[in-house]
Amino acid sequence: MQQATDFLDETHALGELIAPLSDADYLQETAFKRWTIDMVLRHLHFWNTAALLSVKDEAAFQALVSGLTDALRKGALPDHERAHFNGLSGRALREDWLAMARETADVFAQTDPSQRLKWVGPSMSARSSITARLMETWAHGQEVYDQLGVVRENADRIRNIVVLGVNTYGWTFANRKLPIPEPMPHLVLTAPSGEIWTYGDAQADERIEGPAEDFCQIVTQVRNIADTGLSVSGANASAWMEHAQCFAGPPQSPPAPGTRCLRS
């Protein structure tokens, strides 16, 4: 699966970004819920581990996620993840996370993309599972890039996230118990390479146009629409960009304008 390679490439990009950091630097708080860089990496590491076990050892996967309900109810997921890794932190955490990501990518690359895998919620295909890992790595990586004041250089592998955003158009509204507005807006997005990606039927009155990375930032909720370069026309398009959520779980709200931006 190309998605396995894309996941690993995105992981390596984040790994290279933080390679110069000292152990103390990992304690910096990002703009995402005051999570430190340590907390971001432990979160990615935990769920990469879960994805790997869902392929290799279903019993071990069930054991790993068995205590999550209580942690999620209490809002203590970072504490649960920290305990799982015995407080692993800093550069040692980075190395462990990278090693697990490489193994995860290798296993998924050899897995039937249509194979159904257990998950915390509904089961999903192997392709969807590794795409979700890519999406989370990219999305949580953004708060690290922002914190370190680095402008991210995206690659066309973000098309996986664009597709995920398009595929969750209906979910965005259904998850909020809202009617799904039709038609879905026409997307005209410029890829990092300069290629133009289009989705949905061409229409002048319902249209979203601009950089593909900005669309990805909206559907992963790492930016407010006001802090992007997207041009949005139409009621359906405006509603989508206000509520867009390409990840599972209860409805979440995007950050307020100006709160999730590059640190200077």
User: Region 135-159: what's the mean pLDDT?
Assistant: 97
Give dist(CA 202, CA 184) in Å, integer: 10
| Band (264; pLDDT cuts 50, 70, 90) | low
Q: What percent of the chain has pLDDT over 70?
A: 100
Is the peptide bond between 183 and the residue preceding it cis, with omega within 30 degrees of 0?
yes
pTM of the model: 0.96
pLDDT digits (tens, 9 = 90+) for 157-191: 999 999 999 999 999 999 999 999 999 999 999 99
**SS3 for 208?**
strand
Give dist(CA 259, CA 11) in Å, integer: 25
Q: What percent of the chain has pLDDT over 90?
A: 89
Q: Report the sign of the C-alpha dihedral through residues 88, 93, 99, 104, in that order.
A: positive
| Band (110; pLDDT cuts 50, 70, 90) | very high
pLDDT of residue 130: 98
DSSP 77-92: HHHHHHHHTTT--HHH
| Band (73; pLDDT cuts 50, 70, 90) | confident
